[in-house]
C-alpha cells in the first residue's frame, strides 16, 4: 500500500537534501523578521504611534527592531539559531495577542499567522539550524579548537 508519509520521508532523507531544506526553511522564516525590522525603521513614527495606540510604550520600538532584525539575521546565518528561534517565538506569541488579539476578522488572521510562526520557530529551536549554518561550522570546529587549547 502506498504511504505518502514514507514516500516523502524517503525522498528528502538524504543528507544534502535535508541540509538544503533546513536552509530554505530558515531563510523563509528569517525573511518576515528582516522585513519587519526594515519596515519598522522606515516607518518609525507610524510604528511608534501604532504601538502607543495598543498601550505599548513607543520607547520599546528600538528594542523591538533589535529583536526582529537581530533575530532574523541570526536565523538567516544559522548563528545561535536555537536561541534566536526561542526568543523570536516568545516575542511573536506575545506580540500576536497584544497587537492582534482584539477579535476583529482582520486581526484574527494576523493572530493566527503569529501563532503559526511561533510553531515554526519552536520547531527550529528543537531541531537547530542544519548543516548549512554558522552553528554547524562552529560545532565542527569545536573539537579542533579544544585540541589547540589543550
For residues 33 and 71, is the Cβ–Cβ distance under 8 A?
A: yes
3-class secondary-structure state, position 129 = coil
Its sign, for the CA torsion 66, 72, 78, 84, is positive
CA-atom Rg of the chain in angstroms = 19
* CB count in 10 Å sphere of residue 112: 12
3-class secondary-structure state, position 4 = helix
For residues 136 and 130, is the Cβ–Cβ distance under 8 A?
A: yes
Q: What is the pTM of this model?
A: 0.86
pLDDT range class, residue 15, cuts 50, 70, 90? low
- Tens of pLDDT, residues 28-60: 999 999 999 999 999 999 999 999 999 999 999
Q: Which whole number is the average pLDDT over 81-108?
A: 94
Q: Identify the helix (H) or strand (E) that includes residue 118.
A: helix 105-127
Looking at per-residue confidence, does 142 or 141 come out higher? 141
Amino acid at each position: 500500500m502506498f504511504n505518502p508519509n514514507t514516500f516523502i520521508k524517503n525522498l528528502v532523507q538524504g543528507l544534502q537534501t535535508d541540509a538544503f531544506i533546513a536552509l530554505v526553511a530558515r531563510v523563509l522564516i528569517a525573511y518576515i523578521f528582516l522585513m519587519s525590522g526594515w519596515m519598522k525603521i522606515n516607518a518609525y513614527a507610524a510604528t511608534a504611534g501604532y504601538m502607543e495606540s495598543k498601550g505599548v510604550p513607543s520607547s520599546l520600538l528600538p528594542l523591538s527592531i533589535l529583536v526582529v532584525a537581530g533575530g532574523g539575521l541570526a536565523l538567516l546565518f544559522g548563528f545561535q539559531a536555537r536561541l534566536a528561534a526561542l526568543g523570536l517565538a516568545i516575542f511573536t506569541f506575545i506580540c500576536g495577542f497584544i497587537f492582534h488579539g482584539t477579535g476583529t476578522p482582520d486581526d484574527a488572521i494576523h493572530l493566527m499567522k503569529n501563532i503559526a510562526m511561533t510553531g515554526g520557530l519552536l520547531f527550529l529551536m528543537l531541531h537547530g539550524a542544519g548543516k548549512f549554518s554558522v552553528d554547524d561550522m562552529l560545532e565542527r570546529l569545536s573539537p579542533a579548537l579544544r585540541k589547540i587549547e589543550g
